[in-house]
Amino acid sequence: MNRHPFHFEVLARDGSARAGMLHTPHGDIPTPVFAPVGTAATVKGVPPRDLKELGATLVLANTYHLFLRPGADVIAGLGGLHTFMGWEGPILTDSGGYQIFSLKEIRQIDDDGVTFKSHLDGSLHRFTPETVIALEEKLSADVIMTLDECAPPLDRAYNEEALRRTHAWAERCLRAKTRSDQALFGIVQGGVFDDLREQSARFLTALDFPGYAIGGLAVGETKAQMHHTLDVVAPMLPEHKPRYLMGVGTLEDFFESVARGIDVFDCVLPTRLARHGAAFTREGRLNLRNSALAEDRRPIEEGCACYACQNFTRAYIRHLMQANEILGLYLASIHNLHFLLETMRRIRQSIFDGAFAQLWKGGSRTVSSGQ
């Protein structure tokens, strides 16, 4: 194996928007990139074969959920996440911090770590920076995340305390890491407070992580506050390292964030919306359960190259939804993933062509993919 398996290069710029390539042990990731979320080692209802055909180059899995079920030792014993889930491409695991901290009623945080109850059976567990790194090393993803504390974005006192812990935990994660074939990213926190975000960016960049995530956004602040925070943080992050905006996956946010120099995105939205019978289109969300589609011969979206649109009508997919047939959810998921992955490919090409602003202005910025 290459002694330096991780390398990021910026290949083109259009304003602050960047098109690059992140090299990993399991393949190259063209950026900007959208990563479908496979929380429990699966993108819900979509086999790895289909993800590959859709052009996905990075998949996210969740350390918290996999720790609880089936367990990191089980996955390690079966060859690690790539073998376990049958996905040969790059994988990113988050630290599980967001999931734990969102369970306010069943966790306690202290400077050493967090004690929490399983949402599955109420059993008691503890995460520290060291145990999280050990778990992520067992899972064997290509990109792993530090344990951080995601605070309510508008609570300054909470963010000051959480930031102190997040920075101490980042140092401990670095010291605990032993594998050279995984890249550990630091996570910038600080809510909507410019000085805290600047403090976090300075502290973490001094630790020289191979990449940086921006956390604590899309969790309650306004769009304007999120975009302003990106304006503050992105220019402070190293030009030669990837920038990852965690948990964001709407079309509007793709354009707004790429314009500010963000390279990596992930979100559960495309498959979650599909399970609720909604599909992305250039005109906005389409309710696939709508009675008006009962005899509609059109595909979900005219001109779409996805398997669902190439082979099935809105009427048929609506019928599947109404009959509670799993195929309907699958086809909607395939379409929604294709829609976001294809949009990101178009964004990337527009940066090479020097036409990012034109693509944005040309109507894509008005599509309502919502949250």
pLDDT in tens, 214-258: 999 999 999 999 999 999 999 999 999 999 999 998 899 999 999
pTM recorded for the entire structure: 0.95
Report yes or no on 106 lying in a domain: no
Q: Which amino acid is at 321?
A: M
Catalytic residue at 266?
yes
Report yes or no on 103 lying in a domain: no
Burial class of residue 341, CB neighbours in 10 A (0-12, 13-18, 19+): buried
Report yes or no on 112 lying in a domain: no
Q: Does residue 312 share a domain with residue 287?
A: yes
Determine the Cα–Cα distance for residues 356 and 366; give it in Å rounded to an integer.
15
Q: Does residue 352 share a domain with residue 327?
A: yes
Q: Where are the beta strands (DSSP E) in the chain?
A: 7-14, 17-24, 27-31, 33-36, 59-62, 91-94, 107-109, 114-117, 124-127, 143-145, 183-188, 212-214, 243-245, 264-267, 278-281, 284-287
Report yes or no on 111 lying in a domain: no
CATH number at residue 250: 3.20.20.105
Number of domains in the chain: 2
> Token pair 């102190």 is at which residue?
164
Q: Which one of 28, 148, 266, 353 is the catalytic residue?
A: 266
Phi, psi of 110 (to 5 degrees): -140, 180
In this structure, what token pair is assigned to residue 193?
Answer: 């407070």
Determine the Cα–Cα distance for residues 124 and 3; give it in Å rounded to an integer.
39
Look at residue 73 and tell me whether its pLDDT is greater than 50. yes
Position 105 scores a pLDDT of 79
Residue 32 CA, chain-centre distance (Å), reads 12
Task: Tell me the pLDDT band of 59, cut-offs 50, 70 and 90.
Answer: very high
Q: Does residue 48 share a domain with residue 184?
A: yes
Residue closest to 235 by CA, chosen among 6, 18, 2, 3: 18
Position 343 scores a pLDDT of 97
Report yes or no on 238 lying in a domain: yes
158-199 residue pLDDT tens: 999 999 999 999 999 999 999 999 999 999 999 999 999 999
Pairing of strands 59-62, 278-281: unpaired
CA atoms within a 13 Å half-sphere pointing along the CA-CB vector of 5: 15
Look at residue 1 and tell me whether its pLDDT is greater than 80. no
Q: Does residue 191 share a domain with residue 239?
A: yes
> What CA dihedral angle connects 108, 272, 186 and 97, to 10 degrees?
10
Q: Does residue 27 share a domain with residue 159?
A: yes
Report yes or no on 272 lying in a domain: no
Position 184 scores a pLDDT of 98
Q: Does residue 142 share a domain with residue 41?
A: yes
Q: How far is CA 20 from CA 8, 145, 189, 303, 315, in A?
A: 7, 21, 24, 28, 40
Phi, psi of 48 (to 5 degrees): -55, -35
Q: Does residue 315 share a domain with residue 259?
A: no
Q: Which amino acid is at 155?
A: D
Task: Tell me the pLDDT band of 304, cut-offs 50, 70 and 90.
Answer: very high
Q: Does residue 251 share a domain with residue 285?
A: no
Determine the Cα–Cα distance for residues 124 and 272; give it in Å rounded to an integer.
29
Cα three-residue angle 92-199-171, rounded to 5 degrees:
50
Task: Tell me the pLDDT band of 106, cut-offs 50, 70 and 90.
Answer: confident
Determine the Cα–Cα distance for residues 9 and 29; give it in Å rounded to an integer.
11
Q: Does residue 237 share a domain with residue 89?
A: yes
Q: Does residue 290 share a domain with residue 161?
A: no
Catalytic residue at 208?
no
Task: Tell me the pLDDT band of 5, cut-offs 50, 70 and 90.
Answer: confident
Look at residue 17 and tell me whether its pLDDT is greater than 80. yes
Q: Does residue 285 share a domain with residue 255?
A: no
Could you tell me which residues are beta bridge partners of residue 264? 33, 244
272-293 residue pLDDT tens: 999 999 999 999 999 999 999 9
Position 369 scores a pLDDT of 33
Position 365 scores a pLDDT of 43
Report yes or no on 118 lying in a domain: no
CB 217 within 8 A of CB 153: yes
Q: Among 4-13, 312-321, 326-335, which stretch is predicted with the lowest mean pLDDT? A: 4-13
Task: Tell me the pLDDT band of 363, cut-offs 50, 70 and 90.
Answer: low
Q: Is the peptide bond before 152 cis (omega within 30 degrees of 0)?
A: no
Mean pLDDT of the chain: 95
Look at residue 3 and tell me whether its pLDDT is greater than 90. no
Could you tell me which residues are beta bridge partners of residue 25? none
* Range of the structural domain that residue 285 is part of: 277-366
Q: Which one of 94, 142, 148, 263 is the catalytic residue?
A: 94
